[in-house]
Structure 1
């Protein structure tokens, strides 16, 4: 029976599948949103999870400035008179600080593949995601006494934190492989990933305020407790797969299952084909290049703003957060825009429809355009003499990376959804190297706190953005790869949505209606 759409209502034999899970038709034939679908609740909680991931990761970037900055305190002299004395909690030079900030990534890089493998073998990554953040939160709580006791001990605690946070990104891709319908992947993933940047936006200025008012130790105590509270919430609400969630509606469950098609878990990844796949390397190279600029500024921007631009610690924290605020906002726009572009179709004659934008085209446009813009603004930041101009350029250089995250960061789910967590772990292993190399390299380049030395740091980041743009533009793909295809059972091959697509009203009301079959 041919389906027609009038005023946003799909008519197919007088019935619509899945309207009760997310929206309900009114008498006027239009839709209004009801309860938030469970997949979007999972995405919002993942947003808060990544908020904690980055709050726990970057707190030392601000705390280390307070820990090593001389400050005056009132003390009693031998005669009992109050006098002011200049003290410095830790006398660490710039190379030591750079190594300390990068030590987190020594552990982080070791558990990327392990996290992806565990998430694949266990059939889902929700519990693994929670455990990774929970243990990191506990270690954060014991950071102040460890730091006061020994510098090697602080190195160890940061490395172990990295080991547990290393499983978070691979495991969340396992969650999306079960929870995210194909044409909502960009939307759901970018909602979650934007929590990373909101966490950075909030934690940097708040950490500065805490350091000024309560002391640097309070940074670790407060953020550690917040992360543990989130862990309890996630563990109680989020399940590994939709069918394990007792609160999901039957309509939403059927929509997700029909959109994703048959799935298998625990299959062995075809490593040889993965390693020799150019679309995989396009994702890996792009992730590496994006992370180089991101981690360079994430760990060093507070120091640059304070020492080179001349702002005090409080303003340094706020100004350092601006790039990540821009990225968090742009991520929301880019995720919705990418899915909207992928959902647009035109008539191809009869009942057939053809996509206006291919998945490959959308991924390349978002990724390459973002990288080119980041290259331009990073180079401008190296040559603009004013503090306001430099901060503006760096804000745009980082913020526009939000468009790239609708390219490479969800591309794993396009080319091999059942191996998405493994591919994320594989790619993030290489993408973690900037977190190790960049802070240490910056510490050695910028020895005298001179603006001319910072130029070299920005040149390196801009050049890598350009390389990433070219490589992704040539080799990326949004098509399901041959080595990732699975044979569907005979009784499942004809399942799907019969060529139907969402109306705009359904798209923006989180429709549970099955959209055009694009299992890419």
Structure 2
């Protein structure tokens, strides 16, 4: 059974500092806040574009952008984002993820602050800026797995990784109503200025506080450092050279493609609602920007709460060997996808605003279980190449961000409930596809091409980085 190693220790044992003083938890907290900022920088346009193009009793719309043009603007970010996923994975495996993430978010924040001026000059300049923002933000997700490959003990991967990723959803939860409130009270430009400046502050703290590995951290205790190093085990020095990567094995591995397929399917539904939910609330449910933004955030609140519990629960199951890593990853991912299929289909056939909101909230919220499955899976099957695997999967998983807003713009011509029904039905079918593919091909075992021959290494030879078959 693929399970955590027998000689793994409780992270609170061995004279380590208390939970709240452990440096790896500080990394997790700041990574959480980093993803919070990353998603605040994404949802601001989803809310802002409604304020920019809608008229109210007190003001006229400033821009006359139709549904298809709005869809093109919302999807433009992902053209840049898709281009740097694999590059981010490669750079993360070579130089580490801390600086990669910090400078990537910093550049995105600066460009976000410039967006209002660009919008008043030319819509094409807005599209261009969003593409460049995507380029810089594209290195962030692969970069975090490079961080965890050096900082996260195997029995804490789901907890630390899940907690960091949940910042994305909390950022969405707070970002939607915050941007709606800013747009209503201070005008739509504030939806770009405030998240941009907050992100710059975070970048400063992150770059000054976090090191690429625990061995470089001047504030870590000897006990915690020893625990992390022994848990993670030997590091493959060959990864310094790109030519030594097992590219053929990676691209012909079905567990890798199962992660990629699951990531694509989860992101289809996620990005569809991330970019379109405020418009749906406005078009069909007839909510104003403030109320629509608040309700649009509800699914992500549920998702962020579930993900906190799921991370601890999954690591507890693995540590106590109740289920193998393969079974627990499949259970989380496939169970979530089947549930999302049901609730997205139900949302398409709902007849009242309350039914729509409940179904959409559950369809998104239950995706937390999937994130505790496929998103941490690269650290199971090839930890030293995890940033590259996430770069590959996120390259394909970015395609929905490009296609789904544009497809919604093509489908939703008259802002009718019948048109939005098709948007939700497509997402439902894609979730079902992901469940089947991941259930057949996924694995939680370290792959043969990712094994490290410890007898050839000098220094410590603890093998706890490997999941035993």
**1:62 is aligned to 2:35:** no
Q: Aligned to 1:422, which of 363, 384, 388?
A: 388
**Structure 2 residue aligned with 1:248:** 220
Q: Is the 8 A contact 2:51 2:61 kept in 1?
A: no
Corresponding position of 1:296: 272
SS at match of 1:248: coil
Number of residues paired by the alignment?
Answer: 457
CA contact (8 A) 1:17 1:251 kept: no
C-alpha distance in 2, partners of 1:193/1:17? 23
Provide closer, same or farther for how the CA distance between residues 222 and 112 of structure 1 changes in structure 2, counting only shifts above 3 A: same
Query: Structure 1 152/250 Cα, relative in aligned 2: closer, same or farther at 3 Å?
Result: same
> 1:342/1:286 Cα in 2 relative to 1: closer, same or farther (>3 Å)?
same
1:403 aligns with 2:398: no
- 1:467 corresponds to: 433
Higher RCO, 1 vs 2 (CA within 8 Å, ≥6 residues apart): 2
- Asked if 1 retains the 8 angstrom alpha-carbon contact of 2:154 and 2:465, the reply is no
Give distance in 2, aligned partners of 1:516 and 1:144.
48
Look up the match of 1:87. Answer: 60
- How far has the Cα of 1:496 moved from its partner? 4.0
Q: Taking structure 1 as reference, are residues 192 and 216 closer, same or farther at Cα in structure 2, changes over 3 Å only?
A: same
Q: Judging by fraction of residues, say which structure has more helix.
A: 2
Q: Larger % of strand: which?
A: 1
Structure 1 distance, partners of 2:317, 2:362, is 24
In the alignment, which of 41, 52, 57 is matched to residue 26 of structure 2? 41
Q: How far 1:356 moved relative to its partner?
A: 2.9
SS in 2 for 1:457: helix
Match of 1:195 in 2: 167
Q: Deviations over 1:204-246 (max 9, x none)?
A: 0010010000000011111111000000100111000000000
Q: Assess if the C-alpha contact under 8 Å between 2:234 and 2:457 holds in 1.
A: no
1:266 equivalent among 233, 240, 258: 240
Pick aligned residue for 1:105 from 44, 66, 78? 78
CA distance in structure 2 between the aligned counterparts of 1:408 and 1:419, rounded to whole angstroms:
15
**Pairing partner for 1:161 from 123, 127, 133:** 133
Q: Could you say which structure has the larger radius of gyration?
A: 1
Q: 1:231 aligns with which of 203, 207, 215?
A: 203
Unmatched tracts of structure 2, length 5 or more: 1-8
The residue matched to 2:270 in structure 1 has which SS?
A: helix
Q: Would the aligned equivalents of 2:72 and 2:406 in 1 still touch at CA under 8 Å? A: yes
Q: Name the CA distance, whole Å, in 2 between partners of 1:517 and 1:412.
A: 13
- Is residue 286 of structure 2 the alignment partner of residue 314 of structure 1? no
- Please report how far the alpha carbon of residue 121 of structure 1 lies from its aligned counterpart in structure 2 after TM superposition: 1.7
Q: How do residues 277-288 of structure 1 correspond to structure 2 at under 5 angstroms?
A: 277-288=253-264
TM-score by length of 2: 0.94
Take 2:466 and 2:456, find their aligned partners in 1: how far apart are those partners? Answer: 17
Q: Which residue of 2 is the match for residue 183 of structure 1?
A: 155
Equivalent-residue separation in structure 1 for 2:41 and 2:53 (angstroms): 19
After TM superposition, give the deviation of residue 270 of structure 1 in Å: 1.3
Task: Pick the aligned partner of 1:276 from 239, 243, 252.
Answer: 252
SS of residue matched to 2:21? coil
Q: Give how far 1:87 is off.
A: 2.5
- Residues 420-440 of structure 1 show CA distances to partners (whole Å, capped at 9, x for unaligned) of 001110110000000000000
Deviation at 1:34, TM superposition (A): 5.7
* Residue 17 of structure 1, CA deviation: 10
Answering whether residue 371 of structure 2 is matched by residue 371 of structure 1, we say no
Q: Tell me, what secondary structure is at the counterpart of 1:409?
A: coil
Alpha-carbon distance in structure 2 between the residues aligned to 1:357 and 1:118: 34
Query: Tell me, what secondary structure is at the counterpart of 2:16?
Result: coil
Structure-to-structure mapping, 1:409-488, within 5 angstroms: 409-488=375-454
Q: What is the deviation of 1:494?
A: 8.8
Give the CA RMSD over aligned residues: 1.9
The answer to whether the Cα contact below 8 Å between 1:259 and 1:517 also exists between their aligned partners in 2 is no
Name the structure 1 match of 2:99.
127
Contact 1:102-1:440 within 8 A present in 2 as well: yes
2:159 pairs with 1:174 = no
1:36 to partner: Cα distance = 2.3
